[in-house]
Structures are given as C-alpha cells and as structure tokens.
Structure 1
Amino acid sequence: MTPFQFSVKGAAVARQPTSGERPTVKDVAASSGVSATTVSRVLAGNYPVSAATRARVMKAVRELDYVINAQARALGGGGTKTVAFIVHDLVGPAFAYVGQGVEQQATAEGRLCLVCTSHGDPERELEIIELMREQQAEAVVLVGGGSDSRSYAERMTQAARALDKSGSRLVLCGRPPLGPDVPATVVEYDNEGGAYAVTSYLISLGHRDIAFLGAGEAGHSTVDGRLRGFERAHKAHQLTAPPQRTRAVTFDRESGYQATRELLAGDRTFTAIFAATDVVASGALVALREAGLRVPQDMSVVGYDDIPLARDLTPELTTVHVDYEELGRTAVRYALNRERHALSQHTMIGTHIVIRNSAGPPPGPRTRS
C-alpha cells in the first residue's frame, strides 16, 4: 500500500493530498487498519497495545512520513514537557556551562530544553517569559545577573506569579531572589563572597593598590555583587578601594584589553588587577604583555569564573571557581521536583579561589618600570 492510501471494505483507495498537505492520524489509522484512537495510544505510549498492533501502526507512520504534532500532544496532556532556558547570549563561556547543566538535567528528567537569548534586554526577557507561559513550559530558567531596578523586580514578580498560576515555575539561576513571597526557585552562587576572597588574597600578598575591571552600569546584580566583595575586602583590612582604579567593562576580552591600556596610560602605582571575569583577564594579560610588564613579577592578575580558558592562559590564571554546570543542574532539579526539594527552593552554591601562577607579591620599588 502506497502513501495516502487507505482501505475501505478490503479495497485500497488512493487519497490524493493537496499541495503541501501532511498525513493525519486518520491516514495512519486507515493505512494500518486500526482506529484513530489506537494510533494515538501507540504514539503517546500511555496505554497498553499489542506488539503486533504497535508494529503495524509504526510501519504506517514510517511509510506515510507522519510527523507527530507535538503541540497537539501537549494540549492533550501526552506531549513532551519543556524547560525554557533564557540567557544573555550563547557565546559567553559561563553561560554555556550553565546551559549545559540545564540541558543535561532537563534530558535526565525527560524534558525538552528550549534555549532563548535576551541580549541583556529586560523587556525582551519579560516577553520571552510570557511566550513560554503561553507555550506551557514547565519551568522557565533565567540565567545570569538581572536588573536591580524596582520596576523590573515588580514586573518579574508578576511574571513569576503568572507562571505559578499556570502550573509553571520561574527559576532564577545565578541571581538573587525577588522577595520572600515570590513563587520562584532560586539557585545562586556566592558571587560577593568569591570577590571578597580573591581580593583578600591579593591583599594578603601585600598589594594595597588594586585595579578593578568589572564595574559597569549600576543595577546589574552580578556586577554589583563582585564590586561589593571587592570593596568589602578593602574595608575588612582597613584599606580604601581607590575609585580611580575602577574601570567599566562589558565582560569580554576587548573590554579588558582597552581598560588595562587606559590604566597603564595613567599612574602606574597599582600593582594588581582584579578582572571580574576570566575573559576580561585574558584581555588584561595581552595589554600588560604589550606594555612590557611581566605577570606576576611586575603586575598580578586574578579573574573570576574558572572557565577552562583560565588554565590555558600564560601564566595560568588565579581565579574564583564557580561550578556553573552544577548551578544549571541544580536549578532544573529543584524546580521540577519541588515537593521533594521543598526546603531547597532558595539555594546558595559556594565559590572558592583556585591559586595558579598569575598572582604574587608586589614588586619592590627598584623593579618597577
């Protein structure tokens, strides 16, 4: 029997499809000699069907090149559930590792993972959340820092409640909670603590004039947290963080390179650089090398994230380790199993320093260029 044929009282009758027409469940049923209900049961896998019947149905599916309408299945309660993953972009290494963790756990939980990018636009982020609510995503995972503005928090709170009402879940991954009564799963890491620890490490080596490459527009939770840790470490050691050493960057290599060149063009009394990401640090190292400065003999450099790049730089980068894959896995696991993890709907993952070769004591006055 050829595609788009079905049997009527033992006779094969060809059905001529119109241009672009796709086969339907009824076509599969007619071709396999069973009811449309039986076909649906075979495809959904939620009702016992004999092996022979299943084989006939699947043979017809292959011959007709029938494609299951996933949306229709979802509306009927038999479709694959989805987890939406909203991220700033797809090129940031830290984002990629969180995304890998999200995808791994979603797959392990039998869910399909959808990836969306916001490009740092809060409006687009909110639009995607609403779209995912309409598409009945089981969880919507927001990755990375977000705006700290009151209006943004209020609108995000509304989105969280709308998702909760529809049976979905907002998941804040790597960002702080919206409030005690907001129905959301929060899995963050000790962002400020990591910055405090690595700054304190530089101070313990003897550095007193440290440049910070990471400040940006106020109100971004990741940026603000790392700057708070930097300043808190200075305060804890009775030091003042010099504001003239703070440079705004966009968390990419070029920005780190340009910011370091600007610093070197001015007063060179600083002896260390804290780059807010490893990628920013990679740009700083290039600028220092071009200026004829050795790391760590003439200038110490530390980063944040501990992505694989940190081990490939010359010298290998001292940095703050964040287990981004575990962050993503934990976020999905807790969101999809809320009854089992009822007490873990706000979780903090620790960070720690990885000491390598890019930081050492400050140079003596005679060795400075």
Structure 2
Amino acid sequence: MSVTLADVAARARVSPATVSRVLNGNYPVAASTRERVLRAVDDLDYVLNGPASSLAAATSDLVGILVNDIADPFFGIMAGAAQTEIGGQEGSGRAGGEKLAVICNTGGSPERELTYLTLLQRQRAAAVVLTGGALEDPDHVAAMTTKLAKLVDTGTRIVLCGRPPLPGSEAYVAALAFDNRGGGRRLTEHLVALGHRRIGYVAGPTERTTTRHRLEGHRAALAAAGIDGDQDRLTLHGPYARRSGYDATLELLYRDPGLTAVVAANDTVALGACAALRDQGLRIPEDISVAGFDDLPFSIDAAPALTTVRLPLYEAGERAGRLAMGKETPPPGGIATIGAELMARASTAPPRKG
C-alpha cells in the first residue's frame, strides 16, 4: 500500500498541513519540526512509494554540492570548480538548458548532511557531489550508506570529492580520494630530513577521515625515522580553524618547550600556530619551523611563505563536476587516488643549534 501524506504526519507527530509546508517550503517551520518531518519522509520512503512513484526514476536539472563550510577555501575552491563544470554543460538539461548546481552548507553537522540528501532525493536530483572528509561515526556511516543507495535507486549520480568511499558503496559511487596519508608522511619526512626530532602536531577534529589519515602519515614518518617519544602527548585535536592552531600551539610549547617544529592539520590552523609563536617572541623558522596542509591560496603569501602539502583542489572539483554530469568515465573500481605534493617553502628550516 502506498505511503500517504497522513502516514508521514503520523510518524512525525505533526499535522498533514505541517508536512505539506515542509515539503513545499512555502511557510516557515521550526527547524526541529522540519528535521522530524524529513526524517519521517526518509524512513517511510514517501517519495519512492507515494503518488510520485511514477516519476521516481526521472531526474531534474538540479545538482547538489555538499560542503562543510563554504567560507573555508578548501571547500569553496572544490565547490566552485564543480559548479563551473556542472553549469557550463550546454544542452545538458532535460529541456536543453544547463544544470542548476546548488551549494548545501552543512556546517559539519551529520544531521544536516542527511537532511540535505533527503531534500535532494525528493527533488530527484540529477547528481550529488559530497566534498571533504567524512565522519567515521558508525551510526552515521550506516545512515549515509542507506541514503546514498536510495539516491542511486532514483537515478542520481553520486560523486565523492576529497573523501574515501563508504564501505560497500564502491559499486555505485565515483570517489576522488586525496592521498592524505602520503601527503602527511612526506611533510614529516621533510622535517625529519632537516634534522627535526621534537615535533608537535595540531590535528583536526577526531572521527574525521581526513584527520585520521593525515595523522597516520605523520606518525608513519616518525616511526620510520626511529622517533618514538610520546606522540599522544605532542598531538592535540581541534577544529580546522585559526584559533585552534593558536591555542594548541601554546599548549604544545607548555608541554615541551624544546619543540623545534609544529605540523598543523591544514593551512588555516598553521596560520594560528604562527601567530601563537610570534606572540611568544619566537621566530619562524629560526626558532621553530611550521608546516601546514592543502596549499590554500594564501599560503605562499604568508610571512614567511608556508611549507605545506598541495592538494589539487580546483582540478579535483572540475573532475567531480564532469563525473556528476556523466561527461567523464568513472575511474577503475570507482575510486581514484589524487596525489599530494610537498611544497617546501621558507617556514621550515634546520632546527636551531644549542
């Protein structure tokens, strides 16, 4: 039996009118109510089994691009490049027009990520591009796996840009995964080759794939060099934000005043680390070296220019856009690993003597 609007209302514990308002977006509804309604829509497969079932396999001219933070250049560069490819495909729309690429800013919230995917499913989006690292919480992974499978069932292409595929999704997802482990390892190998042995690490948020992979690369380089030490004590986690780099660097200096280098989870965090060191009267790189990750546009203009790992963000975004439009053949096995390049600049040097 088909699921009705009344069934959704009963599951969400709201009136049918409220469900209609949420789905049509024509009347303000409290955020908590909206989330509850969309969860019920998803649980009951209302779009798939309801009156619109005859259209379930059809796709619209809409493409969703999910980002954690559009103000962060890491996401903005990829999203902008993907949007250019998607919007620039003349004649790709059903009526001969261009596709409409919509940026969905999740704020890093797993709940918002799922909500946006539900909305895109209901709109029968032609494609969805998910950018950046993924949350490794088992419940969220299970929910995402189910949600992406539902999207594919309705004809939506799924492209991951900068994140590894979910377990079991390789068959229907095209994934462009950055070599964060390799980049992290090469960055720390560079510092070790300069002579650094006491290296602090400012990591990103826990339970993010990007955080774990970059930290694994860092520690692999230390282990290969025979640098054991107390790596947990010299590793601090926090948001990918300047303030996190500033506060964590002060704490690292407190824990080990003899540090000769600080590796930051990304370039924005590295800027915070540099500010903290300058406020402590320390010179970069004469007193302490600093390195970042991503090679965001401001990195080369920092003073001194920041040693970092370059990820081809724009090129990855372009490729994701082409994959989303079916203009490029998916990589073998659905997964392509995108290399990371060490950019050695003036913020790193041999450690001070004495």
Query: 2:253 touches 2:259 (CA, 8 Å); kept in 1?
Result: no
- Taking a change above 3 Å as real, the CA distance of residues 265 and 271 of structure 1, as seen in their structure-2 partners, is same
User: C-alpha separation between the residues in 2 aligned to 1:129 and 1:208?
Assistant: 45
RMSD: 2.1
1:88 aligned partner, one-letter code: N
Structure 2: distance between partners of 1:79 and 1:290? 55
CA distance in 1, matches of 2:151, 2:176: 18
TM-score, normalised relative to structure 1: 0.74
In 2, distance between residues paired with 1:190 and 1:290?
34
**Distance in 2 (alpha carbons) for counterparts of 1:169 and 1:79:** 10
**Structure 1 residues 160 and 321 mapped into 2: Cα distance closer, same or farther (>3 Å)?**
same
Partner letter of residue 307 of structure 1? L
- My pick for the range that moved more, 192-201 or 107-116, is 107-116
- Structure 1 gaps, min length 5: 1-74
* Residue of structure 1 aligned with 2:69, choices 89, 105, 108: 89
* Residue-by-residue CA offset, 1:45-80 (whole Å, 9 max, x unaligned): xxxxxxxxxxxxxxxxxxxxxxxxxxxxxx8x9997
Displacement after TM superposition at 1:89 (Å): 1.4
- The structure 2 residue matched to 1:212, chosen from 201, 204, 210, is 201
User: Percent identical across equivalent pairs?
Assistant: 36
1:98 equivalenced with 2:78 (yes/no): yes
Match of 2:278 among 279, 283, 289: 289
Of structures 1 and 2, the one with the larger relative CO (CA 8 A, separation 6+) is 2
Residue 359 of structure 1 aligns to a residue whose secondary structure is coil
Aligned residue number for residue 146 of structure 2? 158
Residues 1:355 and 2:344 are matched in the alignment: yes
Distance in structure 1 (CA, Å) of the matches to 2:144 and 2:63: 18
| 1:342 shift after superposition | 6.0
2:222 maps to 1:234: yes
Task: Give me the whole-angstrom Cα distance separating, in 2, the residues matched to 1:340 and 1:278.
Answer: 32
Shift of 1:336: 2.4
Match of 1:246 among 231, 235, 255: 235
Map 1:127-146; keep pairs closer than 5 Å: 127-146=115-134
| Distance (whole Å) between structure 1 residues aligned to residue 142 and residue 88 of structure 2 | 33
Separation of aligned partners in 1, 2:110 and 2:228: 34
Deviates more, 1:335-344 or 1:273-282: 335-344
Q: 1:339 to 1:360 in 2, by over 3 A?
A: closer
Aligned to 2:311: 322
Q: Which residue identity does 1:155 align to in structure 2? A: A
- Mapping for residues 52-67 of structure 1, pairs under 5 Å: none
Paired residue for 1:122? 110
Structure of larger gyration radius: 1
Is the Cα contact below 8 Å between 2:199 and 2:260 reproduced in 1?
yes
| TM superposition shift of 1:181 | 4.7
What are the within-5 Å matches in structure 2 for residues 326-341 of structure 1? 326-337=315-326, 340-341=329-330
Give the secondary-structure state (helix, strand or coil) at the position aligned to 1:243.
coil
Q: Number of matched residues?
A: 290
What TM-score comes out, normalization by structure 2 length? 0.78
Structure 2: 5+ residue stretches without partners? 1-54, 90-97
Do the aligned partners of residues 282 and 342 (structure 1) sit closer, same or farther apart at CA in structure 2, a change above 3 Å counting? closer
Structure 1 distance, partners of 2:253, 2:280, is 8
Q: Post-superposition shift, 1:355?
A: 1.1
| Residue 37 of structure 1: aligned partner | none
Contact 1:334 1:345 in 2 (8 A): no
Query: Using the alignment, how far apart are the partners of 1:338 and 1:149 within structure 2?
Result: 33
